[in-house]
Amino acid sequence: MGNRLAIFDCDGTLCDGQAFICRSMDIAFAQCGLPEPDAHEVRRIVGLSLPVAVRRLAPDIDDSLLRQAVAAYKEAFFASRQDGSLSEPLFPGMEALVRSLHGKGWTLGVATGKSERGLKSTLAMHGLLDFFSTLQTSDRHPSKPHPSMLVTAMEDALASPEQTVMIGDTMFDMEAAKAAGTDAIGVAWGYHGVEELFAAGARAVARTAGELEELIHG
């Protein structure tokens, strides 16, 4: 029959790291001599792989400066992790949801624009790393909404698209699910609006973790 697979986005879905994402982007742009990016626009690109995100914020920069900005962002974010100032709290109810789904036999995965090192650090910090069987990150895949992350997660989990649900807070997540042929459920506490999620292909949008679990089982 195959495995039931629930794939989660990370930032904006499982955890809230927006303050440090915005701060790291400010530092990166300043170091590269670029105008400070608008915080609202930075939040809008959360979920994209970093080079794609920077390019959307600064579409006119050349490839060399793009690489410098990406490296500066990574350095700033890593420095905040190293000095203990980084805060990426889980959204209310998400730890219990992960544990509940795992206990009910779901295979769990993550598809995120984070690096593998960053994702593993975040999940380990919250004691959740061992609950996830497949981790798909920007190190090995094109940015969402390309379906590569979801396709590989399904291959890892021996799950078909009909047995798979993508859970995320952005249009990129919903569009990736549509491209991969999976179910798509949005969450209302992230970076894109509810109507945007529906327009991008969400079957439903959860307002709480409890509602999300009901929708996943439904």
Catalytic residues: 9, 11
What does the chain come to in residues? 218
Contact between 191 and 169 under an 8 Å Cβ cutoff? The reply is: yes
**Farthest-apart Cα atoms in the chain, separation:** 55
Q: Would you list the DSSP string of 126-153?
A: TT-GGG-SEEE-TTTSPPTTSTHHHHHH
User: Which CA distances in Å does 145 have to 68, 76, 117, 200?
Assistant: 24, 26, 21, 10
- Please give the Cα distance from 218 to 199 (Å, whole number): 21
Contact between 27 and 73 under an 8 Å Cβ cutoff? The reply is: yes
Cα 115–chain centre separation: 10
